[in-house]
Amino acid sequence: MIDFIVPFCEQQVTIIYVDDDILVVDKPSGLLSVPGKNVLNKDCLITRVQQQYPNAHIVHRLDMDTSGVMLLARGKANLSCLSRQFQERKTEKQYLAWVYGVLQDDKGEINLPLCCDWPNRPKQIVHYELGKPSLTRFEVLERNPVTFQTKVLLKPVTGRSHQLRVHMAELGHPISGCEFYAHQDALKQADRLQLHAWKLSFIHPSTGALLTQIAPAVF
Which one, of 137, 142, 136, lies nearest residue 162 by Cα?
A: 136
Please indicate whether residue 63 is annotated as part of the active site: yes
Task: In whole angstroms, give the CA distance from residue 29 to residue 26.
Answer: 10
* Alpha carbons 143 and 82: distance in angstroms, whole number: 36
* Three-state SS at 81: helix
Q: How far apart are CA 21 and CA 76, in angstroms?
A: 10
Q: Choosing from 19, 21, 26, 63, which is the catalytic residue?
A: 63
Dmax of the chain from CA atoms? 51
Instruction: Kindly report the number of other CB atoms within 10 A of residue 20's CB atom.
Output: 9
Rg of the chain, C-alpha, whole Å: 17
Continuous segment of H or E residues that includes residue 72 = strand 67-74
Q: Which residues are catalytic?
A: 63
